[in-house]
Amino acid sequence: MPERLKNQRIVVSGGGRGIGVEIAKRLAGEGGSVLIADIDETVARETAEAIENSGGMASPCKVDVRDPGSVTAMIGAAVDTFGGLDSIFNNAGIAQVRQFLEITEEDWHTVMDVNGLGVLICMQEAVKQMLKQDSGGSIINMASIAGKQGYEPIAHYRALSRTIVPPSSVLWP
């Protein structure tokens, strides 16, 4: 694969499982240095090790995207490990399966805090670092098909998916 992302320092939140793993592998496969950030440090470490074992550059990081201090530490880890930040791929997200009338306020806040507030916090902290570097950068926010198609047992997840704006730039077609 071409190394069109060589010298690019990238954070992937939610990079330890599912789509995040594949995103991180692709970015590293194209030459990017990838910080694998996940709430589960074990899966972040496993993903980073798999990337390094295949010749890529990656490092794990534990993060709770709902916590500004944790996100600040994640951005700091990227800077400490790779020397800066060029891109962040906001992929961290959760979906809960609950029948509509069984969704609690706690369920609502959990989904909104991770899938909405977490994206905001990650974008803000990434932009602070990019401004500090005076180098610009890319922010990619993952969204879900649930914003276009209804699924009753994930109504609270779907509510936020409808508000996500499509990204204006992508790293690959």
Residue 31, classified by CB atoms within 10 Å of its CB into exposed (0-12), middle (13-18) or buried (19+), is middle
Q: Going by C-beta distance under 8 Å and a sequence separation of 6 or more, which residues neighbour residue 119?
A: 65, 90, 141, 164
- Single out the residue of 55, 66, 63, 52 nearest to residue 11, CA to CA: 63
State the Cα–Cα distance between residues 75 and 84, nearest whole angstrom.
9
Q: Beta 9-13 vs 87-90: how paired, if at all?
A: parallel
User: Tokens at residue 49, please?
Assistant: 């090790």
* 151 counts as catalytic: no
> How many other CB atoms are found less than 10 A from the CB of residue 102?
9
Q: Which of 157, 158, 161, 171 is catalytic?
A: 157
User: Which residues are known to be catalytic?
Assistant: 157
